[in-house]
Structure 1
């Protein structure tokens, strides 16, 4: 890729001026800003501003000159327009396909040095213990089967396609197109799953046309047109899959490459209407017919977004609404405690008209615990089976054990779905009862086989493709009338300029700073935290230019500068400046309503001094304290221990007008049990503090007081998951003690910050009906019994399923 840049027509001029044809870097940034943000008319108005009468003008004096300069920048895969004709059929507008050669785009992706540390070139087996692990495509069965048919030493570049039927040109006088995206399975799934990392490239904009035929044949002809266009775009990819071709990898080695079609995750409902009567789509020449190693039963992989999340919204959620009642269900969601980083439905969930996969996921996260008590146990168990299946299907890595658990979860749903029938919950439109012959439900049966063949399904998520519409296509095309004869040519020029500017920006940055264009490839750090390959690459070559790279920033690694737990598996972060720099014990007791604060701190000092032989003359009754209202807790991934997860915020706010009882989150704490062994406790954090000493004082704090401490109030476990198999959740209730006067108080204690192990979520046990006086600000303080929600996120689900006992 970099050699082709050096071979550009004007490369010799750029050895003198790295930003040629622009005068310097500043002028290049101005020109890029104008082209990306202003229309041609606005650029003309800008160039005629009176301000330029007293200030130097840029080298480009007109919008035409600016655009010509942009068009002269080096390019790899140019866009083009092809006219498509269907003999015997007329259309409202001419059929024009905007596309570029898919093989050239694949070569660019395969050789991009940015992805050098994030690529795999050979199939491999991963063994964890005595079980095989299925992760990316190269660790699955199909990669090995195809490799067996390739010449010795050949490399397969698995082709992954993506599309979305959402038109990207609705405002252009009736012209509609939808994009086709491509990536390769060699790039790690963590990189491919983020749309902003540019691992996906657009290769075509499929025309959506209206044929002058009877409506019964409209969708059939559109389907044939789609396959005909795909034939043209992917012709060279199919040739490379059959005969192979040579292309350089990011390390500048030339490889003999084959390009099998691995995944084309369609929405399988796409052509169902056309095939309703005859069970046929009417497409007699599908584009994959001559693509070697391509089989629809393999590459038409199920999608988590449509098959799981949208299925959940279209069916199980409707069953729950019908059984629980819209008002009661809304009230249960409105009353849930708000946690930072988790969606809270302040107005309920039944009135939301438009939802995305994120909303479906957030509703699904608490649905099982939320409906407990309002429906029969068998009904809950059926819903729980589908939620379990969805969570297990989202695992970034799988083992035979997890695949068996996923299959069992789906089997549980079918075993208990009679409860849904008994509750008369399957009412469709106009009250008509629905059956269970649901295509998406049937498709779930194939998930286990697909994962064994292709790897985890999350790497093919349609959520990424839908996000690409925003990152790659939003506001891309001009709002020009469709009657404009050169509209498609305008679109092509815009697409080419976008590609030119993106490549030239990084090229000019490196050459102008004197950096070598040969990739500086290093082994990754022990802990993987950088989520942006471009940022990682530039940070090694030009550390001072990291700010020039756009896209998601790295996950902040608190393991480097934060507070570590004793086993170094958990990191904590507190703001440098506390929320309260100096509070007395009396102020803490009043502000946070902690009447036993002095007693619990004294007890903590006594226990710690006995355990460590460190004594102190510092008096907690007259000491001063720094206080924080929140801290961050960070863990490694439960699936991939080298990967660091984003931190979670744990709140401990005092009483306020918005939160009359405080706003405090719950955590899991490891501490000594009655038998002396380490035991897990659920506790609510009420205070985050650290003792301080006055300046000039000769008192020294012992080690157990020199780090942040937590005042917590405990919960005790009252039932195990096995006691309520429909929920499979731990149930906890608050712990109380009685003082000398017989008054009941919540049982509190002081513990080290580093004793915390997880941030956990508690859902109140609402019973048959929720108390209507409850709000999200009071429910966590007013209810006594709670379910420990193991569906808080995929990481928590996996951790509680495999670690927590």
Structure 2
């Protein structure tokens, strides 16, 4: 895929901010002023850890409070003889809890008994924290200083303003329209809610959910109607309003919250028989649903549950008498049910596309194809296939999507492949974090292409239910919801902003165990990346937190910048970390092989032309001095050519780190590129593919594959020069790579390029030596 054509961000972007921006007033409060206003602040002037006696006691108390131990087990721990010898100011769990309660607190927990129209075995008690207090705490927290986006705006790619650009929610139409509806100078706060998957089903349970939400969210509704004064981190006061911007929920929960029946769309007026339509139906507006409920109330008493439910069904409603959003200003279900990638893209892919492909290709064949793929560091490898996975997360879905089209291309009919590939292309495009109107047209075209070919899936009989029963309909709610993604992007910004690890955890799609798996995978990657790098990392502990990452990301861009300012002789050269364009490269301090003769390396890595390739490279460096080398051309040097060096240092790994395509300040985690000789299970060696720059006038990723080629890295070396002999070329790391030829045209069905190993006229593989700095990006 040519990345340069997907919502490319240019420096010529023009932004029109809302003409009456939010105003900030004096006489607010800061986080520190609240801390100092605590009744015990006088004691903290002499003891920062009051009500605990010291830092050590606080560390003990904090560990116990966060350990999850019961009060009884804490008492048992504190009663140990060794613990009794410690000079603690508390000796029981009750005393510990009492001291903790005197610490400056955040939003308090509340409780309320929910009255129900029908009797229950036990009282229904609702526990919650005031959401307005939570927002005030976040809005005032010093960590968020200059990090809150409070100004609605319209972004254009050029000064002509012929097309819009959509990123965050504040760049969409809804933010502009909501700001227009507020008083001059008011601050618009973006509220995002995540609905945890509920296991309740039935009319009374739906009533209860809406009733509880009505209680919990009432402070936000009041603030949306009248506004509220909140202080920012530096003590300025803002006149804030809290309309509902986004409510993340899976399809069934969205239907319940929208108060529609189980066979209706929560955001449009479409019913299940219309889910197959290739156009978006009329939006389900707030006024429409409330008008229908008024009619139902006029025909049946809400307390007569059976009669009220029967009347509600005539309008395809679920029987809830008062939706929680009914009295929330500017809240419309068709607007605030924003799509996000986990439910509406990845889950839909795994539930439907994967099953179609499985039927078309065959269970064992599809699993076999995945099992023989070469593992790539940083991506999951499916040793046993994909059909018996027990724990499938969004990350797993994405890793399957990277390969499944190419693996199944030869086993499906052209029509089925076109339909599934178009749907995959749609998912890929909508996940961009920077989308303009031209991109929306491409997204729409991809969805139209699927609908134009979806009949092939039914005709081929690959759409099956339980017991391999053929399915001849398109009663798929998430398929209909895809029609709402394009208007959602233009109204509320890109869908990527609505999903992160926290969303998956709260919504039941990720568990604590999932996070441990991700953490373990990440730690394993760090082990691959940072081994033997202590000489650099100790001096430059450059780690940065990035959106959506559990751990700080090692910033090799910053490390490379710092190395450039070190004194000559204080660090090893060539530099182990350096930046070329938008890519940072990092090589471990210690080589995998400290010294090996050239001919021995050629034998170990099965590179018979290594010596002539090195000779030709040195010749090009001396004669042309070009920094970018093409791969190919006749081999000029002979097999016994002389070199100004006899030995090499060899590395088996190199790390490449890229910045985000649309936001250059966001740094992706480094990826490991392997080039190890045959050993153990890797009987033919472990060699990864990489994108290489071959033309100095083109750069990655803005030029896409223009001026670049794809090659397999076979050897990473640094020649060890002979004593007393001067070199007429730059001292640098170099690599031996073998090139792939890329087909000039994409396959008409898969829209993928076909790669073939490039061969010389004598039948040997086309390989050459190039500088490491020509490596642009790693691709699995």
Q: 2:474 maps to which residue? A: 436
Counterpart contact for 1:304–1:462, Cα < 8 Å: no
Q: 2:585 maps to which residue? A: 572
How far did 1:376 drift? 1.6
Instruction: Give the counterpart of 1:588 among 582, 601, 625.
Output: 601
Counterpart contact for 1:564–1:754, Cα < 8 Å: no
Correspondence list, 1:774-793, <5 A = none
Q: 1:533 to 1:666 in 2, by over 3 A?
A: closer
Give the SS at the match of 2:743. Answer: strand
Q: 2:181 maps to which residue? A: 149
Q: 1:735 to 1:357 in 2, by over 3 A?
A: same
Listed one character per residue, the Cα deviations across residues 270-309 of structure 1 (whole Å, up to 9, x for unaligned) are 3569645652111120111111011111011223211111
Give the SS at the match of 1:239. Answer: helix
1:263 and 2:246 equivalent? yes
Listed one character per residue, the Cα deviations across residues 100-144 of structure 1 (whole Å, up to 9, x for unaligned) are 111111111111110113211111222223542111111111111
Listed one character per residue, the Cα deviations across residues 31-89 of structure 1 (whole Å, up to 9, x for unaligned) are 11112113322222221222246x433221222111111111111310022111212x1
Counterpart contact for 2:621–2:729, Cα < 8 Å: no
Q: 2:455 maps to which residue? A: 418
How far, CA to CA, are the matches of 2:350 and 2:57 in structure 1? 51
How far, CA to CA, are the matches of 1:639 and 1:533 in structure 2? 14
Q: 1:545 maps to which residue? A: none
Counterpart contact for 2:249–2:507, Cα < 8 Å: no
How far did 1:672 drift? 4.9
How far, CA to CA, are the matches of 2:590 and 2:343 in structure 1? 46
Give the SS at the match of 1:16. Answer: coil
Q: 1:347 to 1:79 in 2, by over 3 A?
A: same
Give the SS at the match of 1:388. Answer: helix
Give the SS at the match of 2:185. Answer: coil
How far did 1:625 drift? 1.0
Q: 1:222 to 1:60 in 2, by over 3 A?
A: same
Q: 1:801 maps to which residue? A: none
Q: 1:4 maps to which residue? A: 34
Counterpart contact for 1:585–1:621, Cα < 8 Å: no
Correspondence list, 1:19-58, <5 A = 19-37=49-67, 38-52=69-83, 55-58=85-88
Q: 1:493 maps to which residue? A: none
Counterpart contact for 2:556–2:585, Cα < 8 Å: no
Give the SS at the match of 1:256. Answer: strand
Q: 1:143 to 1:607 in 2, by over 3 A?
A: same
Counterpart contact for 1:736–1:746, Cα < 8 Å: yes
Counterpart contact for 1:555–1:645, Cα < 8 Å: no
Instruction: Give the counterpart of 2:732 among 707, 718, 733.
Output: 707
Q: 1:241 maps to which residue? A: 224
Q: 2:148 maps to which residue? A: 119
Q: 1:654 maps to which residue? A: 677
Q: 2:369 maps to which residue? A: 332
Greater alpha carbon shift after TM alignment, 14-23 vs 424-433: 424-433
Q: 1:531 maps to which residue? A: 545
Greater alpha carbon shift after TM alignment, 267-276 vs 637-646: 267-276
Counterpart contact for 1:564–1:570, Cα < 8 Å: no
How far did 1:420 drift? 1.0
Greater alpha carbon shift after TM alignment, 624-633 vs 644-653: 644-653
Give the SS at the match of 1:35. Answer: helix
1:92 and 2:121 equivalent? yes
Correspondence list, 1:763-802, <5 A = none
How far, CA to CA, are the matches of 1:223 and 1:668 in structure 2? 53
Q: 1:689 maps to which residue? A: 717
1:363 and 2:400 equivalent? yes
Q: 1:485 maps to which residue? A: none
1:377 and 2:400 equivalent? no
Instruction: Give the counterpart of 1:734 among 747, 754, 757.
Output: 757
Normalising by structure 2, we get a TM-score of 0.76
1:319 and 2:345 equivalent? no
Give the SS at the match of 1:234. Answer: helix
Q: 1:455 maps to which residue? A: 493
How far did 1:474 drift? 6.3
1:605 and 2:635 equivalent? no
Q: 1:557 maps to which residue? A: 556
Give the SS at the match of 2:252. Answer: coil
Q: 1:221 maps to which residue? A: 204
How far, CA to CA, are the matches of 1:749 and 1:532 in structure 2? 37
How far, CA to CA, are the matches of 2:145 and 2:608 in structure 1? 59
Listed one character per residue, the Cα deviations across residues 645-688 of structure 1 (whole Å, up to 9, x for unaligned) are 2222111010112111111001111225999x983221100000
Q: 1:133 to 1:631 in 2, by over 3 A?
A: same
How far did 1:570 drift? 2.0
Q: 1:803 maps to which residue? A: none
How far did 1:622 drift? 5.0
How far, CA to CA, are the matches of 2:498 and 2:237 in structure 1? 28
Give the SS at the match of 1:80. Answer: strand
Give the SS at the match of 1:315. Answer: helix
1:109 and 2:135 equivalent? no
How far, CA to CA, are the matches of 1:72 and 1:472 in structure 2? 35
Q: 2:504 maps to which residue? A: 466
Counterpart contact for 2:594–2:649, Cα < 8 Å: yes
Q: 1:555 to 1:447 in 2, by over 3 A?
A: farther
How far, CA to CA, are the matches of 1:563 and 1:151 in structure 2? 57
How far did 1:595 drift? 1.1
Listed one character per residue, the Cα deviations across residues 510-562 of structure 1 (whole Å, up to 9, x for unaligned) are xxxxxxxxxxxxxxxxxx9832699xxxxxxxxxxxxxxx9631442335417
Counterpart contact for 1:84–1:95, Cα < 8 Å: yes
Q: 1:135 to 1:666 in 2, by over 3 A?
A: same
Q: 2:13 maps to which residue? A: none
Give the SS at the match of 2:146. Answer: helix
Counterpart contact for 2:553–2:668, Cα < 8 Å: no
Counterpart contact for 1:583–1:626, Cα < 8 Å: yes
Q: 1:747 maps to which residue? A: 766
How far, CA to CA, are the matches of 1:601 and 1:636 in structure 2? 32
Q: 1:639 to 1:735 in 2, by over 3 A?
A: same
Q: 1:634 to 1:427 in 2, by over 3 A?
A: same
Give the SS at the match of 2:342. Answer: helix
Listed one character per residue, the Cα deviations across residues 398-442 of structure 1 (whole Å, up to 9, x for unaligned) are 111111111111111111112212211111123332211311101
How far did 1:352 drift? 1.8
Root mean square deviation, CA, Å = 2.8
Counterpart contact for 1:305–1:461, Cα < 8 Å: yes
How far did 1:620 drift? 2.8
How far did 1:619 drift? 5.3
Counterpart contact for 2:651–2:716, Cα < 8 Å: yes
How far, CA to CA, are the matches of 1:24 and 1:552 in structure 2? 30
Q: 2:657 maps to which residue? A: 634
Give the SS at the match of 1:222. Answer: helix
Q: 1:776 maps to which residue? A: none
How far, CA to CA, are the matches of 1:631 and 1:657 in structure 2? 20
Listed one character per residue, the Cα deviations across residues 331-364 of structure 1 (whole Å, up to 9, x for unaligned) are 1111111100011110001122442222222211
Q: 1:586 to 1:729 in 2, by over 3 A?
A: same
How far, CA to CA, are the matches of 1:471 and 1:405 in structure 2? 30
Q: 2:103 maps to which residue? A: 73
How far did 1:621 drift? 7.2
Runs of 5+ consecutive residues of structure 1 not aligned to the other structure: 168-207, 209-217, 476-527, 535-549, 762-805
Q: 1:292 maps to which residue? A: 329
Q: 1:672 to 1:356 in 2, by over 3 A?
A: closer
How far, CA to CA, are the matches of 1:716 and 1:242 in structure 2? 63
Listed one character per residue, the Cα deviations across residues 746-767 of structure 1 (whole Å, up to 9, x for unaligned) are 2211001011112123xxxxxx
Greater alpha carbon shift after TM alignment, 112-121 vs 237-246: 112-121
How far did 1:730 drift? 1.4
